[in-house]
């Protein structure tokens, strides 16, 4: 198999073919191997544009194949191959890995090479940008299938996708663009409204740093706002445990909370504007892909810690940590995706009136965003989606994903959506874990739904680490939430009622 080539004619999107660079058989007895014997294949997909970077991929071929495959998504601005040996995103670590269960597992670096997932400079090249936006997903899938056919003599009969954040968006993109090629996805806190996230980050930067940073709020006050929310709303779910579960009741008090915060911390008008933007988001005077205009905010008054940075002065380029996290991501986006000017000053941009950049912003939204509300072709072929979003995610607004789900309900109808999608809103879950970690048997539940038409349990038990291992709370489908019944073990998910908002 070494030096095997995959012809460009076997890849459905433009490339110059693919080549295998290395093949290693990992014995079941190898130190640290818990996956059984498998063949590790590394290779590259060559670009159509000779100036574009290649796509690097890894494919793991189990000795005992179950006839299925799992594609794994990346994170941030990508640039590295994600871990293809681990459990699925948010999946149980106490069950065998997908590879050990007999799945082919594979992934790519999305079509450029970088460390840390923060560097967007690759987007100066059109093909690298399109690969990141959507093309690498199908290119990698096609190559993996050709290699599987060569190795096993047949194609996978099922293909699933697992990812979080950027990888969650990639999973949604896969079934929206190529519904005939995928059977199910595990999409976790997806950046489906990618462009909206970046526009919101640009708005936040202006709110914080305009007028000599009058809107910036110091870390000590940010922490006290966070703690005030926990103290005030923690027991709305019947138990005081450091998690706000009844987000709906908490947000109903937001105006009163802001009034109290203004008095307690003597916030100025610009800082109040920052609080309002972070909590409520904004609305654009123009439409992104699929008619999206709303950019929702976050639960910044219900328990998340606002990411405003440790220093009031913005740097150029902006850096997450000293500067606001979302401002840094927006800075990279506008420098390399939109203006393609590495010297562009984000603080010169008016998101509501972007002038000559508006057309480019909308063009990128149509390329990258995963907001198509009509998934009928995927539904009709029997595809299934398990979708998880944390209520306390500081990176992806839960309300953005709720809005996408609502648009699907409006377009397809409740019965159709219920036949193939489950959206779970999880209290305490941040972006990929954070203070609270969540695991559940997502891949096996998805596979059982696809293979045997067994729908997910009404409220599957979810392990949640709140400082004590072994605690569980129920996974609640939107728009329900978990309320402690007042009796029974508070560490057992069966002691909670599922309450509809």
- HSE-CB at 190 with a 13 A cutoff on CA atoms is 32
Identify whether the C-beta of residue 205 lies closer than 8 Å to the C-beta of residue 346: yes
Q: Is the dihedral of CA 175, 164, 102, 457 positive or negative?
A: negative
- Catalytic: 374? no
- Catalytic: 495? no
Q: Is the dihedral of CA 121, 124, 125, 131 positive or negative?
A: positive
Identify whether the C-beta of residue 110 lies closer than 8 Å to the C-beta of residue 52: no
DSSP 252: T
What tokens were used for 472? Answer: 């569980």
Cα 17 from chain centroid? Answer: 29
> Among the options 108, 110, 162, 165, which is catalytic?
165
- Integer Cα distance of 213 and 471 in angstroms: 43
First to last CA, the chain: 56
- Integer Cα distance of 38 and 100 in angstroms: 9
- Integer Cα distance of 279 and 157 in angstroms: 45
Three-state DSSP class for residue 45: strand
Strands 158-164 and 68-72: parallel
> Among the options 393, 441, 447, 463, which is catalytic?
393
Identify whether the C-beta of residue 450 lies closer than 8 Å to the C-beta of residue 419: no
Cis status, amide bond into 479, omega within 30 of 0: yes
Q: Could you tell me which residues come within 8 angstroms of residue 259 by beta carbon, excluding any fewer than 6 positions away?
A: none
Cα 365 from chain centroid? Answer: 16
Q: Could you tell me which residues come within 8 angstroms of residue 32 by beta carbon, excluding any fewer than 6 positions away?
A: none
- Catalytic: 325? no
Identify whether the C-beta of residue 56 lies closer than 8 Å to the C-beta of residue 44: yes
> Among the options 35, 136, 392, 431, which is catalytic?
431
Beta partners for residue 26, in sequence order: 38
- Using CA atoms, how far residue 406 sits from 93, 421, 423, 429, 500, in Å, is 32, 12, 11, 21, 16
What tokens were used for 40? Answer: 């590790």
Strands 38-45 and 18-26: antiparallel
| Catalytic annotation, residues | 165, 393, 431
């Amino acid at each position: 198999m070494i030096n095997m080539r995959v012809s460009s004619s076997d890849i459905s999107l433009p490339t110059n073919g693919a080549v295998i660079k290395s093949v290693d058989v990992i014995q079941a007895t190898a130190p640290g191997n818990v996956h059984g014997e498998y063949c590790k294949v590394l290779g590259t997909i060559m670009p159509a544009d000779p100036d574009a970077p290649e796509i690097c991929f890894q494919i793991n071929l189990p000795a005992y194949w179950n006839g299925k495959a799992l594609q794994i998504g990346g994170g941030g601005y990508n640039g590295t191959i994600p871990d293809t040996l681990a459990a699925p995103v948010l999946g149980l670590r106490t069950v065998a890995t997908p590879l050990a269960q007999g799945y082919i597992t594979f992934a790519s670096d999305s079509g450029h090479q970088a460390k840390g997932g923060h560097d967007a400079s690759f987007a100066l090249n059109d093909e690298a940008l399109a690969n990141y936006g959507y093309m690498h997903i199908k290119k990698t899938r096609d190559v993996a299938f050709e290699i599987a056919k060569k190795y096993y003599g047949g194609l996978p009969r099922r293909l699933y996708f697992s990812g979080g954040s950027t990888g969650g968006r990639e999973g949604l993109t896969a079934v929206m663009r190529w519904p005939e090629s995928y059977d199910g996805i595990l999409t976790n806190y997806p950046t489906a409204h990618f462009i909206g996230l970046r526009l919101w980050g640009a708005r936040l930067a202006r709110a914080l740093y305009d007028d000599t940073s009058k809107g910036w709020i110091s870390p000590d006050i940010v922490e006290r706002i966070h703690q005030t929310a926990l103290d005030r709303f923690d027991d709305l779910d019947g138990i005081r445990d450091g998690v706000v579960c009844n987000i709906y009741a908490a947000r109903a008090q937001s105006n009163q909370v802001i009034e109290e915060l203004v008095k307690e911390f003597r916030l100025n008008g610009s800082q109040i504007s920052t609080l309002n933007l972070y909590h409520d988001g904004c609305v654009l005077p123009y439409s992104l892909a699929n008619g999206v205009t709303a950019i929702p905010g976050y639960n910044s008054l219900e328990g998340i810690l606002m990411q405003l940075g440790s220093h009031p002065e913005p740097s150029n380029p902006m850096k997450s940590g000293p500067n606001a996290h979302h401002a840094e991501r927006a800075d990279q986006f506008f420098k390399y995706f939109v203006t393609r000017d590495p010297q562009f000053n984000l603080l010169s941009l008016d998101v509501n009136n972007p002038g000559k950049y508006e057309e480019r912003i909308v063009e990128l939204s149509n390329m990258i965003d995963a907001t198509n509300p009509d998934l009928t072709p995927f539904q009709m072929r029997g595809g299934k989606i398990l979708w998880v979003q944390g209520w306390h995610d500081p990176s992806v607004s839960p309300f953005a994903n709720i809005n996408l789900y609502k648009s699907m309900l409006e377009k397809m109808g409740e019965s159709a959506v219920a036949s193939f999608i489950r959206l779970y809103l999880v209290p305490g879950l941040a972006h990929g874990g954070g203070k609270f970690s969540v695991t559940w048997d997502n891949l096996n539940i998805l596979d059982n739904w696809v293979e045997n038409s067994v729908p997910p349990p009404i409220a599957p038990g979810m392990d949640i680490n709140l400082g004590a291992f072994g605690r569980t709370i129920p996974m609640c489908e939107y728009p329900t939430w978990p309320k402690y019944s007042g009796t029974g073990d508070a560490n057992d998910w069966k002691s909670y009622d599922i309450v509809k908002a």
